[in-house]
């Protein structure tokens, strides 16, 4: 008999297979990325109908076989529904964007529990009506943290010395995505000497990013980010992400096109 596994899961993507079946890629809390075949999922009386929706936390049971990478879904039930996400276009679009990010990095057979928790937290926030842009930015920072790629925002990424603490919000700091975050003057000079790209970034942007990263859900719900600061913070986080992912996620490509942002502002 094939071994059976039960775990919590979030659907990353799904597509129809054959006449009435469904193949879904899910991120699980303890078993990383798993690919599953839900036989007959599109039949009217299927036990899986309404169970494999995007954004919900599910409990899935599947059997595995040495001959196939595709597990066979045996049973499923939703543990936490997040219906409000689909009722608002901005929440829906940004929730798809966070799923896309997770989909880019989630590996089969790896422990992705930090990524799972970050994804679940952000979906809860979208469902609860937190400002969707802030929820997405906060997820991006948690996502980098889960991958061990969190940018150094308060200390020099190279020597660990505290970064500038000037009270002037327009003060700029040295920043290098390749070096892992902000740099003190000495380390910035060294990095430049070894041909690393080092740019200047507003200290205020770094501080806001740091607050977004550490904010709990209640703090984030009350967070007010002035319009004139939004594009700077968003641009910084997106550039850092793209640098480390070495790709521009599809959802962000179209968002950038519509905003007509310049192509490079973080490091030069
Ligand atoms: Zn330093």
Does 201 lie in the same domain as 138? no
Q: For the chain, which residues score pLDDT lower than 70?
A: 1, 163-170, 247-268
Decide which of 108, 131, 146 is a domain's last residue: 146
The answer as to whether 161 is a domain residue is no
Does 112 lie in the same domain as 59? yes
Q: Please tell me the distance between residue 77's alpha carbon and the centre of ligand 1 in angstroms.
A: 51
Q: Please tell me the distance between residue 188's alpha carbon and the centre of ligand 1 in angstroms.
A: 7
Q: Report the number of distinct structural domains present in the chain.
A: 2
Q: Please tell me the distance between residue 190's alpha carbon and the centre of ligand 1 in angstroms.
A: 9
Q: Quick check: 149 and 172 in contact, CB under 8 A?
A: no
Decide which of 129, 146, 163 is a domain's last residue: 146
pLDDT per residue over 62-84, tens digit each? 999 888 889 999 999 999 999 99
Q: Please tell me the distance between residue 242's alpha carbon and the centre of ligand 1 in angstroms.
A: 24
DSSP 87: G
Containing structural domain, residue 188: 172-259
Q: Any alpha helices (H) in the chain, and if so which ranges?
A: 89-105, 113-128, 132-146, 185-193, 203-214, 217-222, 227-245, 250-259
pLDDT per residue over 171-226, tens digit each? 888 999 999 999 988 999 999 999 989 999 888 899 999 999 999 999 999 998 88
The whole-chain average pLDDT of the chain stands at 88
Does 198 lie in the same domain as 73? no
pTM: 0.86
Q: Please tell me the distance between residue 72's alpha carbon and the centre of ligand 1 in angstroms.
A: 52
Q: Please tell me the distance between residue 233's alpha carbon and the centre of ligand 1 in angstroms.
A: 23
- Residue 68 maps to which CATH number? 2.40.50.140
The rounded distance, in Å, linking the Cα atoms of 224 and 253 is 26
């Amino acid at each position: 008999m094939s071994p059976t596994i039960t775990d919590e899961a979030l659907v990353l993507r799904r597509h129809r297979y054959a006449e009435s079946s469904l193949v879904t890629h899910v991120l699980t809390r303890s078993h990383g990325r798993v690919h599953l075949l839900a036989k007959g999922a599109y039949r009217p009386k299927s036990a899986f109908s309404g169970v494999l929706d995007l954004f919900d936390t599910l409990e899935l049971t599947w059997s595995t076989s040495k001959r196939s990478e595709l597990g066979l879904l045996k049973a499923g039930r939703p543990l936490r529904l997040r219906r409000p996400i689909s009722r608002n276009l901005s929440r829906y679009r940004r929730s798809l964007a966070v799923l896309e990010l997770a989909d880019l990095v989630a590996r089969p057979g790896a422990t992705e529990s930090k990524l799972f928790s970050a994804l679940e937290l952000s979906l809860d926030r979208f469902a609860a009506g937190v400002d969707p842009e802030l929820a997405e930015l906060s997820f991006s920072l948690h996502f980098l943290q889960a991958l061990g790629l969190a940018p150094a925002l308060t200390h020099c990424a190279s020597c660990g010395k505290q970064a500038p603490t000037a009270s002037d919000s327009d003060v700029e700091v040295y920043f290098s995505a390749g070096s892992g975050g902000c740099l003190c003057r000495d380390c910035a000079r060294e990095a430049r000497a070894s041909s690393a790209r080092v740019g200047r970034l507003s200290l205020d942007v770094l501080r806001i990013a740091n607050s977004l990263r550490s904010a709990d859900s209640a703090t984030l719900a009350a967070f007010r980010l002035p319009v004139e600061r939004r594009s700077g913070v968003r641009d910084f986080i997106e550039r850092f992400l793209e640098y480390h992912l070495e790709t521009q996620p599809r959802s962000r490509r179209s968002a950038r096109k519509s905003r007509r942002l310049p192509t490079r502002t973080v490091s030069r």
